[in-house]
Amino acid sequence: MRRLLVGVPYVWLLVLFLVPFGIVLKISLSDIALAIPPYTPTLDLSGGWAGIREFFSQLDLENYVFLTSDDLYWKAYLSSLQIAVIATFLTLLAGFPIAYGMARAPEEWRPALLMLVILPFWTSFLIRVYAWIGILSTEGFLNQFLLWTGLISEPLTILNTNTAVYIGIVYTYLPFMILPIYATLERMDASLLEAAEDLGCSRIQAFWLVTLPLARPGVVAGCFLVFIPTLGEFVIPSLLGGSDTLMIGKVLWEEFFNNRDWPVASAVAIILLLILIVPIILFQRNQQLNREAEQ
């Protein structure tokens, strides 16, 4: 009974999560071939021990060397990092005031406000990205509105630029930023602010000296929750970005589906994972510290 309970999900994840990784790793060390599947070597167990040795001797780091030699990949990693950092910062700028306003709102409003933040999260991601195409295009609603107000005389090109990608990321990941910040702000004891005022702070000083430092765990968590998925994002750059928008998720996709170069796509994936390990570990540590601080 107990074995079954542990065993079924364990084996499931082993087979459908861990083993696939092994395969990706292995293919990243293989060479491209005009065959099905389009890589070599393939493991042939009928060759016995010698066959396995033969198989391992054919694996090499050639694809990784290729990634360093072609500057497309370097640029894609760097530009993904850059876009993820800037987008995370912009999301924080947009999210913090909203979370702060929600935490200050009368208690009976808060569940409704919270639901308004969560609702878009349940709505299709794809549709939410799609909604911006009609807004940001040259004859889109934003340009129509700006022309109507007279702020601009020529329509702006926003769609298919990095600006559109930033807007898309901020829009879709905003709930991930708002929720953890709101959670820390809402938990904050209101008497702390009164104590700060009582000890001589103005409202604004109390915000800088008390509210902001106490919101830090939520801010950090929110930033990671936006940064980590943004780094490997595919849908937003491919729908809203331009041909010069380089993001690694898009490169991987194209390498795989358009060039059918599975070994290089696998190597791209492995490097992306290695890059992600650092923020993921930092995020885990932050969550751990928060849990400990709560106790």
40 forms bridges with which residues in the sheet? 31
For another protein, the closer of residues 5 and 50 by Cβ is 5
Closer CB to another protein, 86 or 209, in the complex = 209
Tell me how far, at minimum, the Cβ of 246 lies from another protein, in Å: 15
Shortest spacing between CB 252 and another protein, in angstroms: 5
Using the minimum distance from each CB to another protein, give the nearer residue, 86 or 214.
214
Residue among 15 and 78 whose Cβ is closer to another protein: 15
Nearest to 192 by CA among 180, 209, 217, 204: 209
Nearer to another protein, 80 or 162 (CB): 80
Question: Could you give the CA distance from residue 163 to residue 157 in angstroms, rounded to a whole number?
Answer: 10
Query: Shortest gap between Cβ of 190 and another protein (angstroms)?
Result: 7
Minimum Å gap between C-beta 263 and another protein is: 11
Query: Nearest 5°: phi and psi at 79?
Result: -70, -30
| Region of 284 on the Ramachandran plot (φ > 0 left; ψ -120 to 50 alpha; else beta) | alpha
Contacts (Cβ under 8 Å, ≥6 apart) of 182: 99, 102, 103, 114, 117, 218
Residue 189 Cβ, how far from another protein at the closest point, in Å? 6
Burial of 148 (0-12, 13-18, 19+ CB in 10 A): exposed
Nearest to 159 by CA among 94, 239, 230, 231: 239
